[in-house]
Amino acid sequence: MKQFRPYHFPPLTQVVANGRGDANASSSAAEDWQGAVADGYRQGQRDGYDAGLEQGRADGQSAGHAEGVARGYEEGRQQALAELEAMSKPLDAALRALKKMQTEFRNAQRTEVVDLVGKIARQVIRAELALQPTQMLNLVDEALAAMPPARDEVEVLLNPEELKRIQELDPKRAKKWKLLPDPSLAPGECRVKAGDHEVDAGCQGRLAACMEQVNEALTADLQNQAGGQSA
């Protein structure tokens, strides 16, 4: 069985007094709580504003820095391109001048080679005709073979000195055609007449045709070399 202790209620005056004191304390606590809330709200506003301002400044600095870097890069790139273009102009001019000089040199070289070959060929022809002037009759045979057949007598015009030597060295072949002297013809030159046709059967015409072929061959070779170097 439980034991109970007797309870003594406090005096009524004390309860009343205590009630009044508690009411005053509650009112003061409520006022303090409201003030604290207001202070906290104001402090929160200030902290939020300061934090937002700081974040805005940071974001603005970051965006401004990125924009400044991009603008500076583009300006630097444009300036570099302009300087490079300005530097390339004299270089292009120098390259064009060099190519022109190379072309002129190749042309001069080709001309010199053709002239040299022509001089050598003429010397060889003169030496060969001086030793064997009857070779002029071979040229006459070749000229007649390229001409249409004619019933008229064939006339061969030659340099007087060469005609005399041919008649001395090969009189039999010399009687095959009508050989006539022509002082206007240089040694190694002759003209062949057969009816209405007349051709130049001399060495100069043949040499000129040969040198034209040499010139064309050298030109093609130089162009191929130039093409290979440019590639």
pLDDT of residue 160: 93
* pLDDT surpassing 70 at residue 40: no
Per-residue pLDDT averaged across 37-60, rounded? 67
Q: pLDDT exceeding 70 applies to what percent of the chain? A: 71
Per-residue pLDDT averaged across 199-210, rounded? 81
> Minimum mean pLDDT among 6-20, 43-57, 77-91, 94-108: which range?
6-20
Amino acid letter at 150? A
| Stronger pLDDT, 123 or 177, i.e. the higher one | 177
Phi, psi of 218 (to 5 degrees): -65, -40
Residue ranges covered by each domain of the chain: 100-230
* pLDDT surpassing 60 at residue 7: no
* pLDDT surpassing 70 at residue 188: yes
Contacts of 204 (CB under 8 A, 6+ apart): 186, 188, 189
* Among the four given CATH numbers 3.40.50.80, 3.30.2320.30, 3.50.30.30, 3.30.360.10, the one describing domain 100-230: 3.30.2320.30
What DSSP string runs through 162-198?
HHHHHHHH-HHHHTTSEEEE-TTSPTT-EEEEETTEE
> Minimum mean pLDDT among 116-120, 172-176, 225-229: which range?
225-229
* pLDDT surpassing 60 at residue 220: yes
Residues 83-103: pLDDT tens digits? Answer: 777 777 777 777 788 778 777
Per-residue pLDDT averaged across 190-207, rounded? 85
pLDDT of residue 44: 65
State the Cα–Cα distance between residues 74 and 60, nearest whole angstrom: 21
Structure tokens at 56: 């805005």
State the Cα–Cα distance between residues 41 and 47, nearest whole angstrom: 10
User: Cβ–Cβ contacts within 10 Å for residue 76, how many?
Assistant: 10
* pLDDT surpassing 60 at residue 221: yes
State the Cα–Cα distance between residues 128 and 108, nearest whole angstrom: 30
**Mean residue pLDDT across the chain:** 75
Structure tokens at 140: 């006459």
CA atoms in the 13 A half-sphere facing the CB of 2? 3
| Stronger pLDDT, 27 or 215, i.e. the higher one | 215
| Stronger pLDDT, 19 or 33, i.e. the higher one | 33
Element (H, E) at 155: strand 155-158
Structure tokens at 53: 């301002």
* pLDDT surpassing 60 at residue 190: yes
User: Cβ–Cβ contacts within 10 Å for residue 201, how many?
Assistant: 24
Long-range pairs for 17-22: beta carbons < 8 A, 24 or more residues apart = none
Phi, psi of 226 (to 5 degrees): -65, -40
Q: pLDDT exceeding 90 applies to what percent of the chain? A: 10
Of the pLDDT bands very low, low, confident and very high (cuts 50, 70, 90), residue 16 is very low
pLDDT of residue 114: 76
| Stronger pLDDT, 36 or 194, i.e. the higher one | 194
In sequence order, what are the beta bridge partners of 179? 156
